[in-house]
Amino acid sequence: MRTQGIFAIFLSVVGVSTTNSSQSCKCIPGETCWPSQADFASLNKTLAGRLIQGIPPGSVCYTSQPNYNISACETVLRSWFSSTFHASNPISIGWPWWANNPCPPIFPNGTSVTGDQQAGTKGCTIGSYPVYAVNATEAKHVKAAVNFARLKNIRLNVKSTGHSFQGRSTGFGTISIWTHNMRGIKWHDDFKPDSCSLKSPQMAATIAAGERVRDVYTAAASHNAIVVAGSAQDVGIMGWFSGGGHGPLSSTYGLGVDNVLQAKLITPSGDLLTLNPCLNSDLFWAIRGGGGSTFGVLTEVTMKAYPSPRTSRHRLVLALANPENETGYWDLLAYILSESPRLKAGGLQGYGSINPPVPGVPSSTWTLYWGLNVYDKPNGTIESLFAPIKKKLDLENGTTIIYSSSVMNFPDFFTAWNASVTNEAVATAGISMGSRLIPAAPLTQDRQHLARVLRNLTMAAEGEPPAGMLPCFVANNQTGLKGDVSVTPAWRDAVAHVMVGEDFRDSATFAEAKPLIDRVTYERVGALKNLAPESGAYFNEADPFDPDWQYNFWGDNYPRLRAIKKRIDPSGLLWCFSCVGSEDWAQTGSGQLCPKP
């Protein structure tokens, strides 16, 4: 384990009580119920030395910390915005605001890497990062951590890469199971789920808990195949699929949950279970859309694989040419979105963004970007699908808009994906985001109304720059019936998954950030709800502050999910914000988790 001296300094500043709390609250550092050093030493022995004391990576930049190191600090400062860096740290997360950003890396003058000039004065604490992390490489390590946390009444946390927009990979006073180093991808030419009799075995890949999107795509490509996964290369597969899992292939091949054949899960009681249609089928249903870190700790998943398709990619850049004619620009965007059901039916799928002008850069303007693919279609398919839109854009080119359109053909999916994927910047700010699944009718019935909604969604709050949005064409309504998996049934009726969000200072307190958070919840997401009131939202990219999150994330599936949660985790060992069953608990002002009366 790391040095006791460093750990003592972090615990000395978390500001927790040293009195006994109610036995029903989760035990936290400073309380007499908290395990002794001998207890943790025993756990560490069981884990063969894999117990790590939580120390924020930015601590090496603070002269007040025993691990202060100028060279190490320079490395952290250079790496801070890299998702790979945070994934490779046992406790850090992609958006540290969710841990109260308690120890940002600072320059020698005390200014944080994101510009907070008071960061050095505020100092470095552990905040809401995990107190300990278990560097799990095998299922037995997960089981040992689960049993220890349950017996000691400590809140348990799970982190693979820390890529959670809602901060679900961290928690105050927690022991975290860090699955990042549980690696391995096994290929099957003819997989059959255990205890099931299938007439047609399926090509598949069994994926360990620590594998990321890039790992999965690379492994599949070595077999001239694909496995449905996400778009960002550092996203962990387990959290991605368990929340639903969209990606550049999902409109054709189904969501992540549609492609799961079998999984292995360690339950809150410490049992290792195999989940598939024939074994523990209720849990198999729950983990396919009910969210990660809820029903247990996933150690592996087996997913369908398919022959890699020929891939054609369409790139569109559409910029506002005349700032005095924004109305015409939004009318054009509404027209393009109204065409999306037709484009989707023709096979086009992928991701787009509508980006606002950059403050202080006079030459920047509103710009739509998209990169949409078709699979195993004849050359020329994209050009034919895009022809009606091109005709309309040509009439406005140089006056209302300036645009460029291009098509590239690739021999397989991996080559296309690898040519376009970029490194994702994280930890740049606090973030509040939300989303809505939009069916065809709101996109096609009233284009003028749609244009007004788009414009209002992006309007700036007083004193703030305008905000963009992400229209994603990744829904699938052909694979699976609505009751087969536990994601919101709204996925099956959707054409687009639209995300909105706003950034704020990562040094902001919750009270300081709340006006922007409320703006996202009640104005921006609220406008999307008004556009599609009977729909829902994608759990992994939804607004965690949604007042009706149970229905919006899961629809009519929620009562069944909650019943399974109560049965499998009666003591609330696993808890995360706006996750199944989370309404039974509340965090106190210090961050301690206690049952609601």
Number of other CB atoms surrounding residue 50 within 10 Å: 21
In the chain, where are the structural domains located?
4-178, 185-308, 311-411+425-547
Contacts of 363 (CB under 8 A, 6+ apart): none
Q: Does the pLDDT value for residue 13 go beyond 80?
A: no
Tell me the per-residue pLDDT of 453-467, one tens digit each, with 9 for 90 and over.
999 998 877 777 889
CA distance 444 to 104: 46
- Supply the pLDDT for residue 461: 73
- Under CATH, which number does the domain 4-178 receive? 3.30.43.10
What is 185-308's CATH number? 3.30.465.10
Secondary structure tally for the chain: helices H, strands E: 20, 20
Predicted TM-score (pTM) of this structure? 0.95
Rounded mean pLDDT of 187-205?
91
In Å, how far are 456, 543, 585 from 96, measured between CA atoms?
Answer: 30, 17, 23
pLDDT tens for 460-487 read 777 778 899 999 999 977 655 556 899 9
CATH code for the part of the protein at 311-411+425-547: 3.40.462.20
Q: What is the pLDDT of residues 109-158, one digit of tens each?
A: 999 999 999 999 999 999 999 999 999 999 999 999 999 999 999 999 99
* Of the candidates 490, 496, 491, the residue with the CA atom closest to the CA atom of residue 534: 490
Average pLDDT, integer, range 525-529: 97
Rounded to 10 degrees, the C-alpha dihedral 579/167/597/488 comes to -20
Tokens of 426: 């994280």
Q: Given this model, what pLDDT does residue 359 score? A: 84
Residue 584 three-state SS: helix
Q: How far apart are CA 345 and CA 39, in angstroms?
A: 59
Give the per-residue pLDDT at 480.
53
Percent of the chain at pLDDT exceeding 90: 89
Per-residue pLDDT at 323? 87
* Length of the chain in terms of residues written: 597
Asked whether residue 17 carries a pLDDT value surpassing 50, the answer given is no
Look at residue 261 and give its three-state secondary structure: strand
Q: Percent helix, strand and coil across the chain, each rounded to 5?
A: 35, 20, 45
With 0-12 / 13-18 / 19 or more C-beta atoms within 10 angstroms meaning exposed / middle / buried, residue 10 is buried
Instruction: Provide the b/e sequence for 151-184 (b: ≥16 CB within 10 Å).
Output: ebbbbbbbbbbbbbbbbbbbbbbbbbbbbbbbee
Q: What's the first-to-final CA gap in the chain, in angstroms?
A: 38
For 321-468, where are the E strands, in sequence order? 349-355, 367-375, 401-410, 430-439
Does residue 7 surpass a pLDDT of 80?
A: no
Tokens of 364: 């920047």
- Give the helix/strand (H/E) hosting 380: none
